[in-house]
Chains A and B, each alone.
Chain A
Amino acid sequence: MFAYTVRRLIMLIPVLIGMSILVFSIIHLIPGDPAKTLLGEKASPEVLEKMREDLGLNDPLLVQYKNYMVNLLQGDLGTSIKTKRSISEEIKPYLAATVELTFFAMLFAVIVGVNAGIIAAWKQNSWFDYIAMLIALIGVSMPVFWLGLMEQYIFAQKLQWLPSIGRDSILNPINSITNFYIIDTVIQGDFDGLKQILKHLILPSIALGTIPMAIIARMTRSSMLEVMKADYIRTARAKGVAQFFLVYKHALKNAFIPVLTVVGLQTGLLLGGAVLTETIFAWPGVGKYLYDAISVRDYPVIQSGILMIATIFVIINLIVDLLYSAIDPRIRYQ
């Protein structure tokens, strides 16, 4: 298993190199000029030219790529063209915000999705099954921005139960140390702060988690339906195992592997693809950060940001692969 992990980590290198080439080519192929977007339409040609020269944008693409990779290999993610700050420093709070949101969104998606899928399979063709699958269908096709705005309208504006935007209270911000606000409040023993952070997490987590929740529910249901027909389930039932344990203990374990795969993929997707949720809830996350970088053609940020997300994506999938053997001891890694 250790050898397998190491091998997988080594395989990461060609994946990331391929990724960097792909990202580099795409962003340099799309038209647009960072100097012009940053300095505005009124900047004089001389100023524009000076900026392009300073940024090395006049070098041949291969030279630019080489420079970028040389810096990257030395652990330097580069400097943002727009803010002129170091990307490795700048990206930390954004990444933390996104990881926190993704974690809670997936927690919501997994708990609700798995249970809804199990019960739907258990009670196949019952009213619960029909309603759960209808909700899942709506969930998969729900536009996130619409769901987010509706949540804000109902729970923030009308009922005033929950804050509409942001990670923490604007007027009583928490004291951040790690950028993970949950951890920050816990280690500082600030439980009012913790409660506030959790309240801020509810609406965006549900908005972001709804689509994965629906996918997971459908996946769990179909996987469970297959397992429930297996011989060992019939045997267990014949032995008189209570239905609840039959489903949650005996069937779920075998049905969970495909679900786990989906969970891993969805988590990875949410990390980079939460732009809409982050935009609506003014969540200062990495998706919005990258989106802004793309709109001003901030090449170093786009490159390094996407590479970082790709790395996390691959690592999450590695963890999922390793978890398979924990769930099903028959799976072995050679």
Chain B
Amino acid sequence: MSSLAIGAGIAVLGALGAGIGIGIATGKATEAVARQPEASGDIRTTLILGCALAEATAIYCFVIALMVIIMLK
């Protein structure tokens, strides 16, 4: 049981990448808005879309962790 928990925890470590990715994207978006405030609408749409795509990595980690717990039980 405890090794299962450790395995699921390791699987979720991959969410690190999503965090870094969304952080970089948001930072760049902030820069872009500061440079061109009139384009903030387009930038926001693109940022939300990019975040949703980057989030997918974390979601995969979550699905795999869940599968580790449920399938190997």
Pair from one complex: no
- List B residues at the A interface (Cβ < 8 Å): none
- List A residues at the B interface (Cβ < 8 Å): none
